[in-house]
Amino acid sequence: MESAVIKAEATLNVSVVQARQWFMELETHPERYQFETHAGFALTRGNFGESGARFQTWERFYGLKLTLRFELIEVGDKHFRFRLIRPAFPVWGAFVIEEAPGENANLSLAIGGTTRLGAWFLRLPLVRGAVQGQIRREVEHIKASMEAIYPRQHTEESK
């Protein structure tokens, strides 16, 4: 995998299995992927979780509304890798779920260029700032959504 140019991550108070399940359920619960600068998610071809599936999002960068279209290019037990297809620009992204202490999971969202031009574009200060802020908010939103959907049951021993 090419090197990420921009990355956001968080520790989730859910298991790796629950984190993956959240992503797999986006097809039937697209509303889970809505927040202030991210107006929605829609599957446009195939099934989420399958390579070749396509989806689109409606996002806002610096007040500018954009429709972004993506294709899943690699799906594993703990990752979803995608590429931007509209606007056509050489950019990839990947959600990666990893084990964390205490039966928790770490979630990262990495963005990089599929070419030197794509990586250069992502390093431009205005672009980097917009994308970094967006993916940070995305990871924070996904964390909050997952933890609300899969709350941990606390026993007397864990208090």
Residue 64 lies in a domain: yes
Q: Which domain holds residue 110?
A: 6-152
| pLDDT 10s digits, 79-99 | 999 999 988 889 999 999 999
Judge contact between 84 and 120, C-beta under 8 A.
Answer: no
Residue 103 lies in a domain: yes
Residue 67: is its pLDDT beyond 90?
A: no
| CATH number for position 125 | 3.30.530.20
Close Cβ partners of 105 (under 8 Å, ≥ 6 residues apart): 11, 12, 14, 15, 16, 18, 19, 97, 98, 99
| pLDDT 10s digits, 123-152 | 999 999 999 998 999 999 999 999 999 998
What was the pLDDT predicted at 150?
94
> Which stretch of DSSP H or E encloses residue 67?
strand 64-76
Query: What is the residue-averaged pLDDT of the chain?
Result: 89
For the ranges 11-15, 40-44, 94-98, 142-146, which has the lowest average pLDDT?
Answer: 40-44
What was the pLDDT predicted at 1?
54
**Span 45-51, average pLDDT:** 88
Residue 60: is its pLDDT beyond 70?
A: yes
Most distant CA pair in the chain: distance in Å? 55
As for how many domains the chain has, the answer is 1
pTM: 0.88
Residue 158 lies in a domain: no
Close Cβ partners of 148 (under 8 Å, ≥ 6 residues apart): none
